[in-house]
Structure 1
């Protein structure tokens, strides 16, 4: 039985009930449904706690496992609730929300730098995209300004679904060169920034995002590194993260 991905329908859900349906050989906990995002697409797995019967289990991360399931990985090897146990799952919401802010900011970064993306990573204070970029940009400050102007427009961020076949017919939707979005289940999720009439970005993505770009706050492009003959890594930081 696959895990019901509650975060897919509501990225702002920070607490939810669930029932234990199994354990993995590696010591992971399987629930019938989860708010914990599993590591993937450059976004780290969520952390938090599981509570049941007056007991509490710290969760270090979440990972994808066979059968379209999500396993919650305990922070330490302790006794876990048995199969059939009702539990309450609670996210480390501060950490998750910062991932959401960085992730949406990276989508906008791919707008102000309209080049093929060769990799990416999301953190709590900063994130990066690797671009097929033979020459570095001439004015990094200008790029930061353009990025912040997009953020300040407080654009709506929404999602929709298309079929695998529709994605194959529209290859321009995919910005990443080395990794295709997850396919094989019949449909692919698209994340749109802006509206259909005033669209800024549209691309396949399975991660969690803020509801409006204004929620990101100010950012700054803090580093551009050469990572190969044509590859350059662009790092952006949340300004409140820099101050912290």
Structure 2
């Protein structure tokens, strides 16, 4: 199969809580594997790519150390592996499992950062997520932020057990949406001409391709660890789980 005709069906958006799946290999190049479909989220939007492992029918275990989209053909998702056995080839059927605890931490923090963006009235210029912390950068010239206030407001929203849902809208509506959303730099996720939106019901709605929890209470308690001045117009807010 030509690389130009390959495409990986993304399962993670519709099944963010599913941890295991089976799939056939459609390409193997060096230490990277493409599957016909995958639950592994590829690095993007500040969220790291998933890790985990593949299991072959003969019992061989292959550790997946990262997941990325092809830089030229983003419909292709590459699973970076620790060591690719010689007998792993196109057409092989394998079982795959996520490092679920790591992924779930990413889901919780990603949703928490959407809450953070909703309580700070400034455009978002950067984002980063890890298993134990996350941060947003804001276009905010004046130092008006307070760690204790941010911590209190976030935990109050989390405790409300607010539902989180996804929806789609025509990509043509994105310019108008920019007037009411906080992100200045994130390229909106367009799927077959539609924008994928993530909504914390009644609190926030943003274009987002990441994985999220279904309810804010799943996040658990967090605290604002630090507020940094990165430049004259940039403030970085760092959150951690308690």
TM-score, normalized by length of structure 2?
Answer: 0.92
Task: Give the match's secondary structure for 2:114.
Answer: helix
**Structure 2: distance between partners of 1:34 and 1:6:** 6
Task: Give the match's secondary structure for 2:158.
Answer: helix
Map 1:1-244 → 2, pairs under 5 A: 1-24=6-29, 26-53=30-57, 54-65=59-70, 66=73, 68-76=75-83, 78-79=85-86, 81-183=88-190, 185-194=192-201, 199-239=202-242
**Structure 1: distance between partners of 2:165 and 2:97:** 24
Summarize the Cα distance change of 1:51–1:77 in structure 2 as closer, same or farther, 3 Å threshold. Answer: closer
Residue 144 of structure 1 contacts residue 221 of structure 1 at CA under 8 Å; is this kept in 2? yes
Summarize the Cα distance change of 1:17–1:173 in structure 2 as closer, same or farther, 3 Å threshold. Answer: farther
Cα RMSD between the aligned structures? 1.5
Report deviation, 1:169: 3.3
Question: For residues 222-243 of structure 1, what are the alpha-carbon distances to aligned partners after superposition, in whole Å with 9 as ceiling and x for unaligned?
Answer: 000111111010000011xxxx
Question: For residues 139-180 of structure 1, what are the alpha-carbon distances to aligned partners after superposition, in whole Å with 9 as ceiling and x for unaligned?
Answer: 320121011000000110110011111223322244222333
Deviates more, 1:109-118 or 1:213-222: 109-118
Residue 218 of structure 1 contacts residue 238 of structure 1 at CA under 8 Å; is this kept in 2? yes
Deviates more, 1:126-135 or 1:69-78: 69-78
**Structure 1: distance between partners of 2:197 and 2:186:** 15
Report deviation, 1:185: 4.2
TM-score, normalized by length of structure 1?
Answer: 0.91
Unmatched runs of 5 consecutive residues or more in structure 1: 240-244
Unmatched runs of 5 consecutive residues or more in structure 2: 1-5
Residues matched between the structures, number: 234
**Structure 1: distance between partners of 2:111 and 2:37:** 25
Question: For residues 55-95 of structure 1, what are the alpha-carbon distances to aligned partners after superposition, in whole Å with 9 as ceiling and x for unaligned?
Answer: 11000010001250111000245446211111111000000
Summarize the Cα distance change of 1:217–1:184 in structure 2 as closer, same or farther, 3 Å threshold. Answer: closer
